[in-house]
Amino acid sequence: MNGTKSYLSKTVEELKPSGIRRFFDLAAGMEGVISLGVGEPDFITPWSVREAAILSLEQGYTSYTANAGLMELREEIAGYMQKGFGVSYSPRSEIIVTVGASQALDIALRAILDPGDEVIVVEPSFVSYVPLVSLAGGVPVQVQTLKENGFKILPEQLEKVITDRTKAIILCSPNNPTGTMLNGSELEAIAQIAEKYDLLVLSDEIYAELAYDGEYTSFATISGMKKRTILISGFSKGFAMTGWRLGFVCAPETISQAMLKIHQYAMMCAPTMAQFAALEALKTGRSDVEDMKKSYKRRRNYFVQSLNELGLTCHVPGGAFYAFPSIESTGLSSEEFAEKLLLEEKVAVVPGNIFGESGEGHVRCSYATSMELLQEAIKRIGHFLKRNQKA
C-alpha cells in the first residue's frame, strides 16, 4: 500500500461505526456498573434447550443442514407461525432459517434492492437498519416519529417521503429502542399505503413474543399483506437465545427463493447445533417464554412508573424490554446524559440519538435486569437527577 489509494469500498468507508461501540469501550473496565444498556434478555437459555444442543453434539450432528435449515425445524416454525400468529407459510418454499434476524434482514434487503432504490426506515430504529440498506446498495430514507404520538408512525408521514424509487418500508413492532407496539388498526393504515404505492414491508417481529398489552398482530395477517410482507423473526429475544444466532425469515416464494440464493452462497446454512436447540425451544419452550414474559412485564411496570416518578417522563412501552424516557428535564443531550450517568453513578444506558435523530432527548434503558439491580439503578438515577436538573 502506498498510502494514497484506498482499498475500501466507498459504501463501507462512508458507513458510520455504531454509536453503541463508544459506550461499550467507556463502560468496559469499570467495576460495579449496573447495565441497562443491553439489548438482550437477562435469562439464560432454558436448560432443556441447552441440553438438546448438547445431545445433538453427542449424537454427532455436526454436518451442514439443508441451505434453508433442517426440514423438521422449518416445519416446526410453520406450525409456530400458524398457531401463534395466525399466518401460514410453506416450510418447503417460504421459510429460511438464518444466522440471527440480522442476517435475515441482510438477505431480504439484498434480494429486493437495486442500486438507488429507497427504503423507508421508521425512526428511532434499531442501529443496523440504515447501514444494511446502504450496504445492499439502497438509499435509506428516515422518517421520524414523535414522542407525542408514542413514537407511532402516522400514515401521512410515510406518504410524504414516498417517491418513484421507494421499494420498501422497514417496521419493527414492538420496537427497539422505544418499546412501542402498533395495534391492528395502526398496521392496517400502513398496509393501505403499501397497497397504494405497491411497496414491500419488512416486518421485524423479533419482539413479538414480548407483547404485554393487548393482542399482538403480525403484519402478514393484515388482509392482502402476506404477498407484500417479508417477516423477520428469531429466537434471540423471546427464547433468550441471543448467542445462538438463530433467526428465520418468511416471505412469498419468489422472494424467499431469491433470498435463499444469497444465503446459500454467503452463509451455506445456519449452525446445526443451534438449529437443534431451536427445534427443542419450539417444541417445549413455550412455558419458559410465558414465565419470562410475565417477569418482564412486572419489571416494566415497576421501572417505567419509577422513572416517571423521578421526572424522566416515559410512555408505557407495549412490548420488548426497553423504556425510552425523555431526559429533557436535565437540559443534557442524550450522549452527555448517558456519559455522565455512567461516570458518576455507574449506570449504563444507551443515548437515544444512536437510534436516529428523533431519539435525541431520550435514552434507552433495558429493564431485562434483576429486580434488585433495577431498584438500585432507580436509586442511583434519582441521586444523579438531584444534581443534574435544569435550573
Binding site for another protein (CB under 8 A): 18, 20, 23-24, 27-28, 30, 33, 35, 37-40, 42, 126-128, 294-295, 298-299, 301-302, 305-306, 348, 350, 369, 371-372, 375
Q: Are 126 and 120 in contact (CB under 8 A)?
A: no
Q: How many CB atoms lie within 10 A of CB 313?
A: 14
Q: Under a CB-based contact definition with an 8 Å cutoff, are residues 251 and 201 in contact?
A: no
The nearer residue to another protein, 196 or 294, going by C-beta atoms, is 294
CB of 265 to another protein, least distance (A): 26
In angstroms, the CA 89 to CA 256 distance is 11
Beta bridge partners of 336: none
Least distance (Å) between residue 52 CB and another protein: 20
The CB-of-185 to another protein minimum distance in angstroms stands at 24
- State the minimum distance, in angstroms, from the CB of residue 244 to another protein: 14
Closest CB to another protein among residues 30, 268: 30
Closest Cα to residue 259, out of 82, 97, 121?
A: 97
The DSSP bridge partners found for residue 140 are 119
**Of residues 68 and 202, the one with the C-beta less far from another protein:** 202
- Least distance (Å) between residue 65 CB and another protein: 27
| Residues pairing with 143 in the sheet | 122
- Given the complex with another protein, which of 260 and 374 has the nearer CB atom? 374
Instruction: For residue 34, give the H/E element and its range.
Output: strand 34-35
Pairing of strands 139-144, 247-250: unpaired
How many angstroms separate the CA atoms of 275 and 28, rounded?
32
- How far apart CA 191 and CA 185 sit, in angstroms, is 10
With respect to another protein, which residue has the nearer C-beta, 184 or 243? 243
Q: Find cell 494514497 and name the residue.
A: 4
Cell of 346: 455507574
Least spacing, CB of residue 368 vs another protein, in Å: 9
- β-pairing verdict for 166-172 and 247-250: unpaired
Residues 6+ apart with CB under 8 A from 288: 46, 48, 239, 240
Nearer to another protein, 33 or 189 (CB): 33
* Pick 85 or 367: Cβ nearer another protein: 367
> Would the CA dihedral through 327, 30, 35, 247 be positive or negative?
positive
Continuous segment of H or E residues that includes residue 62:
none
CB 130, min distance to another protein, A: 13
> What is the nearest approach in angstroms of another protein to the Cβ of residue 197?
30
Cα(114)–Cα(207) distance, integer angstroms: 29
CB-nearer residue toward another protein: 100 or 138: 100
